[in-house]
Amino acid sequence: MVCGLSLLYILPSHTHAQSSRLYFAKAKNLYRTGLRLVQRQKYTEALIEFETAVAAIKNAIRSTSSQSKKNRYHRVYLGVLFTVGRTYQYNRQWKKAYTSYYNCSKLGASANIQRQIQAQMPKVLPHVMSTLQLRTNPSGTTVLLETSTGFKKRQTPFTISVRPGDITFTMTYPGYKRKRIKLYIPPGARLSKFFSLDGTEATTTRQPPSVDRRPTPVAIKRRSLTTRTYKKPPKPTQSTGVQWLPWTLVGVGVAAIAGGATALYLGQSELSKAKDVSNQGNQFRIDYCTKNPTICDQNNGGPTPGSSEHTTFVQYETDFYKLANDGNTKTLVGWIIIGAGAVASVTGIILLAMPPKKPQPTTSLLGISHALPAIGGPPVSR
């Protein structure tokens, strides 16, 4: 049991570390390929490589448990995201370029990247400015808009051109409750919003109903002098039934161990398939580079991006990552279920081995043979 729990903590972390390194290495190769395509002004093909690199970095962040590696991968992710925005800008896809810059800035990019974003924003903003039309009930409400460029004060109804992103506005009107709203304005959008303010209600004080505080006479009842008989309570009987809780724990534990073993077997099968796919992809690359050494030297040891051979090679890598992720997940779940089943089974066995508790003797008060007087009644003579 101790060995199984140790593997539960050691094996998944090792496989996750390998997966994070593979994802990050894949992201670097895709990023370099995208930069070469940008230099050739093939922006659409470069964006495909960059977006795939972004997805690989996100998988690397999810696959590692080291906080230092997470921080490192996050910084690289923001740099690639800025490059994606620049490529969208080169390709005149202004809305996507602004969205990439906005997300990069909001996720905590470095000071250097922030300066570069501020330098590119004046070129992108004229193409993505949004329009907001605001109406309220009652009309004439004072609205204070808080944008990334400062504060603006207007009275409804009005139409204003705003910069895309988060915008907060506060609405006030005499006799009504103040309302604060936060919206996200998409790039190049035309939004029309309507809001109603809640009015304040006057409160009235109600007098409580009058209460008659005079004491109410209480009728005194006398208890009849009758003799009460005492009945001896029955002796508690010890249950001789089957102890259902320990056996339930043992049964559930055994079933969990069997289910965990099945999940573990399926996970190892997926990892074996991933290894086979990786070997096939490497053999495909070796065969291609043997026949076309010049093309491989020009494309970082692989087929030309966009060709059918490159698509086949990318499909091999995609299948490998999918099978590896599925295998690691099923292996982790299998070990967790096995550990939980072992704990349940051991607990049930311990409960079965414990001796049953003996019933405690019960004590009861003896009854009184003579009657007691009721409150306010005459004393009973003996």
SS3 59: helix
| Average predicted confidence (pLDDT) for the chain | 77
For residue 362, pLDDT beyond 50: no
Confidence of residue 236 (pLDDT cuts 50, 70, 90): low
pLDDT at 240: 45
pLDDT band at 255 (very low <50, low <70, confident <90, very high): very high
What is the pLDDT averaged over residues 87-104? 89
Q: How many residues does the chain have?
A: 382
Euclidean distance between CA atoms 18 and 15, whole angstroms: 5
Query: Which range among 1-5, 219-223, 244-248, 268-272 shows the weakest confidence by mean pLDDT?
Result: 1-5
Every domain of the chain and the residues it spans: 1-127, 130-196, 245-355
What's the Cα-to-Cα distance from 293 to each of 29, 142, 296, 300, rounded to whole Å?
19, 71, 5, 11
Average pLDDT over residues 95-117: 88
On whether the pTM is more than 0.85, the answer is no
Two tokens, residue 136: 């309220």
Query: Could you give the strand order of the β-sheet that contains 190-196, starting from the edge strand earlier in sequence?
Result: 158-162, 130-137, 190-196
Name the pairing type of β-strands 130-137 and 142-147. unpaired
Q: List phi, psi (to 5°) of 76.
A: -65, -40
In the beta sheet, which residues pair with residue 181? 169
Q: Mean per-residue pLDDT for 333-338?
A: 91
> How far is Cα of residue 302 from the mean position of the Cα atoms in its chain?
38
pLDDT, tens digit, 9 for 90 and up, residues 192-224: 889 888 865 333 334 445 555 555 655 555 555
The pairing of strands 158-162 and 130-137 is antiparallel
Beta partners for residue 137, in sequence order: 196
**Confidence grade of residue 148 (pLDDT, cut at 50, 70, 90):** low
* 76 or 209, greater pLDDT: 76
**216 vs 329: which has the higher pLDDT:** 329
Task: Give the CATH superfamily of 130-196.
Answer: Carboxypeptidase-like, regulatory domain (2.60.40.1120)
In the chain, what is the straight-line distance between the N-terminal and C-terminal CA atoms, in Å? 75
Counts for the chain of helices (H) and strands (E), in that order:
8, 7
Check pLDDT > 70 for residue 118.
yes
Average pLDDT over residues 4-31: 64
Q: How far is CA 91 from the centre of its chain?
A: 34
Residue 83 has pLDDT above 90, yes or no: yes
Q: Which pLDDT score is estimated for 18? A: 61
Closest CA to 115 of 105, 100, 103: 105
Q: Are 264 and 336 in contact (CB under 8 A)?
A: no
pLDDT given for residue 235 in this prediction: 58
Residue 368 pLDDT greater than 80, yes or no: no
Query: Of 183 and 299, which is predicted with more confidence?
Result: 183
| CATH homologous superfamily, domain 1-127 | Tetratricopeptide repeat domain (1.25.40.10)
Residue 39 clears pLDDT 70, i.e. is over it: yes
- Region 239-248: mean pLDDT is 69
Which residues have a Cβ under 8 Å from the Cβ of 262 and sit 6 or more positions away? Answer: 334
Residues of the chain with pLDDT > 70, as a percent, come to: 75
Does the structure show a pLDDT above 50 at 110? Answer: yes
Which pLDDT score is estimated for 223?
A: 54
* For the chain, percent of residues with pLDDT exceeding 90: 13
Distance CA 222, CA 340 (A): 66
pLDDT at res. 213: 53
What is the predicted pLDDT for the residue at 87?
93
**CA–CA distance from 121 to each of 18, 85, 89, 334 (Å)?**
39, 11, 10, 50
Cα 137–Cα 139–Cα 143 angle in degrees, nearest 5: 90
Rounded Cα gap, residues 162 and 145, in angstroms: 10
Q: How confident is the model at residue 182 (pLDDT cuts 50, 70, 90)?
A: confident
* Encoded tokens for 173: 């009107």
Read off the pLDDT band of 354 (50, 70, 90): confident
What is each CA distance from 64 to 61, 76, 257, in whole angstroms? 6, 15, 27
Residue 362 backbone phi and psi in degrees, to 5: -100, 145
Phi-psi region of 151 (alpha: psi -120 to 50; beta: other; left: phi over 0): beta
Q: How confident is the model at residue 369 (pLDDT cuts 50, 70, 90)?
A: very low
The model's confidence at residue 332, banded by pLDDT at 50, 70 and 90, is very high
Of the segments 2-6, 15-19, 167-171, 198-202, which one has the largest average pLDDT value? 167-171
The β-bridge relationship of strands 142-147 and 150-155 is: antiparallel
- Cis omega (within 30 of 0) for bond into 233: no
- Mean pLDDT of the 269-292 span: 83
Name which of 257, 243, 255, 242 is nearest 348 in CA terms: 243
Is the pLDDT at 229 greater than 60, yes or no?
Answer: no
